[in-house]
A and B are shown apart, each in its own frame.
Chain A
Amino acid sequence: MATEFHNLQELRHSASLANKVFIQRDYSEGTTCRFQTKFPSELESRIERKLFEDTVKTLNNYYTEAEKIGGQSYLEGCLACSTAYLIFLCMETRYEKVLKKISKYIQEQNEKIFAPRGLLITDPIERGMRVIEISIYEDRGSSGSSSGSSSVSGSTAR
Chain B
Amino acid sequence: MHLGVSESMRECEYSQISTRCSTPMETPYKKRTPKRRKWESFPGRNKFYCNGRLMMAKQTGVFYLTLVLILVTCGLFFTFDCPFLALELTPVIPVIGGVLFMFVLGTLLRTSFSDPGVLPRATPDEAADLERQIDVANGSTGYRPPPRTKEVVINGQTVKLKYCFTCKIFRPPRASHCSLCDNCVERFDHHCPWVGNCVGRRNYRFFYMFILSLSFLTIFIFSFVITHIILRSHQNGFLKALKDSPASVLEVVVCFFSVWSIVGLSGFHTYLISSNQTTNEDIKGSWSSKRGKDNYNPYSHGNIFTNCCAALCGPLPPSLIDRRGFIQSGMPQLAPPTNGITMYGATQSQQSHMAAAATPLLQQQSSEPVILTASTENGGPLPGRTSLNLGGPCTSLPLGQPTPPTSTPSLSCHEASDMLPIHGHSHAHNHGHTLQEPMAHHHFLTPEEVPSPPGMLPCGSPMGHSHTMQAGFYNPASQDSLHEDSVRGLVKLSSV
By a beta-carbon cutoff of 8 Å, the part of chain A in contact with chain B is 8, 11-12, 16-17, 20-22, 24-25, 27-31, 66-69, 73-74, 76-78, 80-81, 84-85, 93-96, 99, 103-104, 106-107, 110, 120, 122, 125-131, 133, 135, 137
Q: How far is the CB of A30 from chain B (nearest CB, A)?
A: 5
**CB <8 Å contact, B169 and A130:** yes
Query: Is B62 on the interface with A (CB-CB < 8 A)?
Result: no
Residues of B within 8 A of A8 (CB): 490, 493-494
Contact A17-B483, Cβ < 8 Å, known A30-B154, A128-B119: yes
**CB <8 Å contact, A31 and B173:** yes
Instruction: Jot down 23 A-B pairs with beta carbons below 8 A, ordered by A.
Output: A11-B490, A17-B479, A20-B482, A22-B125, A22-B129, A24-B170, A27-B154, A27-B173, A28-B152, A29-B155, A67-B317, A69-B309, A69-B315, A73-B314, A73-B315, A77-B315, A103-B496, A122-B489, A125-B320, A127-B120, A129-B320, A133-B125, A135-B489
Cα(A78)–Cα(B169), bound, Å = 35
Residues of B within 8 A of A106 (CB): 493
The 9 closest A-B CB pairs, nearest first, are: A77-B313, A128-B120, A128-B320, A74-B313, A27-B152, A73-B315, A12-B490, A17-B483, A107-B493
Query: Is B459 on the interface with A (CB-CB < 8 A)?
Result: no
**CB <8 Å contact, A74 and B172:** no
Q: How far is the CB of B149 from chain A (nearest CB, A)?
A: 13
Residues of A within 8 A of B130 (CB): 22
Counting chain B CB atoms within 10 Å of each CB, the highest count among A20, A76, A96, A120 belongs to A20
Contact A20-B125, Cβ < 8 Å, known A29-B154, A106-B493, A122-B489: yes
Q: How far is the CB of B471 from chain A (nearest CB, A)?
A: 13
Residues of A within 8 A of B299 (CB): 30-31
| Chain B residues touching A, range | 35 or more
Query: Is B445 on the interface with A (CB-CB < 8 A)?
Result: no
Cα(A11)–Cα(B483), bound, Å = 12
Cα(A8)–Cα(B103), bound, Å = 51
Cα(A51)–Cα(B33), bound, Å = 44
Residues of A within 8 A of B72 (CB): none
Contact A17-B493, Cβ < 8 Å, known A69-B309, A74-B313, A84-B106: no
Residues of A within 8 A of B186 (CB): 31
Contact A135-B486, Cβ < 8 Å, known A99-B318, A127-B123, A128-B321: yes
Cα(A28)–Cα(B209), bound, Å = 31
Residues of B within 8 A of A73 (CB): 313-315
Q: How far is the CB of A126 from chain B (nearest CB, A)?
A: 8
Q: How far is the CB of B324 from chain A (nearest CB, A)?
A: 15
Residues of B within 8 A of A80 (CB): 316
Q: How far is the CB of B461 from chain A (nearest CB, A)?
A: 24
**CB <8 Å contact, B172 and A104:** no
Residues of A within 8 A of B315 (CB): 66-69, 73, 76-77, 93-95
Cα(A8)–Cα(B490), bound, Å = 7
Residues of B within 8 A of A27 (CB): 152, 154, 159, 161, 172-173
Residues of B within 8 A of A93 (CB): 315-316, 318
For B174, give its contact among A31, A66, A107, A126 (CB under 8 Å): A31
Q: How far is the CB of B175 from chain A (nearest CB, A)?
A: 8
Residues of A within 8 A of B491 (CB): 12
Query: Is B122 on the interface with A (CB-CB < 8 A)?
Result: yes
Cα(A137)–Cα(B318), bound, Å = 31
**CB <8 Å contact, B483 and A77:** no
Cα(A129)–Cα(B310), bound, Å = 21
Closest B residue to A110 using CB positions: B493
Closest B residue to A96 using CB positions: B318
Query: Is B47 on the interface with A (CB-CB < 8 A)?
Result: no
Give residues 137-178 of B contacting A (CB, 8 Å): 152-155, 159, 161, 169-170, 172-174
Give residues 195-229 of B contacting A (CB, 8 Å): 209
Q: How far is the CB of A68 from chain B (nearest CB, A)?
A: 7
> A120-B493, A122-B489 are known contacts; what are 12 more A-B pairs with Cβ within 8 Å?
A8-B490, A8-B493, A17-B482, A20-B482, A27-B161, A29-B154, A31-B187, A69-B314, A76-B313, A95-B315, A120-B490, A128-B320
Query: Is B414 on the interface with A (CB-CB < 8 A)?
Result: no
Residues of B within 8 A of A31 (CB): 172-174, 186-187, 299
For A74, give its contact among B159, B309, B320 (CB under 8 Å): B309
Query: Is B427 on the interface with A (CB-CB < 8 A)?
Result: no
Q: How far is the CB of B212 from chain A (nearest CB, A)?
A: 12
**CB <8 Å contact, B173 and A30:** yes
Closest B residue to A11 using CB positions: B490
**CB <8 Å contact, B173 and A17:** no
**CB <8 Å contact, A104 and B489:** no
Residues of A within 8 A of B310 (CB): 69
**CB <8 Å contact, B494 and A17:** no
Residues of A within 8 A of B309 (CB): 69, 74
Closest B residue to A106 using CB positions: B493
Contact A20-B161, Cβ < 8 Å, known A74-B309, A76-B315, A107-B496: no
Closest A residue to B128 using CB positions: A20
**CB <8 Å contact, A16 and B110:** no
**CB <8 Å contact, A77 and B312:** yes
